[in-house]
Amino acid sequence: MSFDLALTKRIGTTEIALTLEPGPGVGSGATILFGRSGVGKTSVLNMVAGLLRPDAGHVRVGGETLFGDGVDVPPERRRAGYVFQEPRLFPHLRVRGNLLYGAPRGAEIGDRLDFLGIGGLLDRWPRTLSGGEARRVAIGRVLLSDPRFLLLDEPLSSLDRPRREEVMQAIEHMRDVLRLPILMVTHDPEEAERLGTRVVRMG
């Protein structure tokens, strides 16, 4: 599965223009959108997810047109697993409830999330989690929704080094073992070099 993007969008004074053609490192792997803050990296993720409409262009994932040529697939039908910069866990649900929110009816956590190391957190409330734990729970919730591909927006921001390493290893597992195509945003060159099968510089 590959990302095929040709996007233009004006937001205020910012003009976003990105072309990403299918090719080596754009299938099951991690494509990194790298650049300084304010150049439109997160807006690109939102356009791929269907949360923001491009002014022109197309979004194709795995050969399926999600936007363009008269097509505009609703966000809930794009099967994009979106991990936002903030975990956005529901404070009134324990970790188990957060994980199963949005999962298909009858889904079970089972052992598919063992690599995230969150099995001991299931009865905890979100407010009691560390930043790294909350981020890993957010990733688990996305995986249980059975996505076709992942969108990761600065998933390592605001984490200390040990927690950052935990989440970094989780992303490597999704890239190399689960083989889910990943489109990820970062402004950190170390993250881009370590995680990216392909790095696209913006700005």
For residue 26, the model assigns a pLDDT of: 47
Question: Average pLDDT of 128-150?
Answer: 95
Q: How far apart are CA 123 and CA 27, in angstroms?
A: 36
Answering whether pTM is above 0.85, one says yes
For residue 105, the model assigns a pLDDT of: 83
- Delimit the domains of the chain by residue range: 3-201
- The CATH superfamily holding the domain 3-201 is P-loop containing nucleotide triphosphate hydrolases (3.40.50.300)
Q: Write down the residue that tokens 């050969």 correspond to.
A: 63
For residue 110, the model assigns a pLDDT of: 82
Mean pLDDT for all residues in the chain? 92
For residue 23, the model assigns a pLDDT of: 63
Q: Which two tokens stand for residue 148?
A: 């076709």
Say what percent of the chain tops pLDDT 70. 97
Question: Average pLDDT of 174-180?
Answer: 94
b/e for 88-97, b at 16 or more Cβ within 10 A?
ebeeeebbee
CB 65 within 8 A of CB 57: no
pLDDT in tens, 42-82: 999 999 999 999 999 999 998 899 999 999 999 999 999 99
Could you write out the DSSP letters of every residue in 159-191? --HHHHHHHHHHHHHHHHTS---EEEEES-HHH
Say what percent of the chain tops pLDDT 90. 83
Q: Which two tokens stand for residue 40?
A: 């439109």
Task: Enumerate the β-bridge partners of residue 20.
Answer: 5
For residue 28, the model assigns a pLDDT of: 65
pLDDT higher than threshold 90 for residue 104: no
3-state DSSP assignment of residue 201: strand
CB 9 within 8 A of CB 47: yes
Summarize the chain as % helix, strand, coil (round to 5).
Answer: 30, 25, 45
Residue 140: closest CA among 121, 160, 163: 121
pLDDT higher than threshold 80 for residue 1: no
pLDDT higher than threshold 50 for residue 25: no
Is 118 or 106 the better-scoring residue by pLDDT? Answer: 118
For residue 22, the model assigns a pLDDT of: 77
Q: How far apart are CA 178 and CA 154, in angstroms?
A: 20
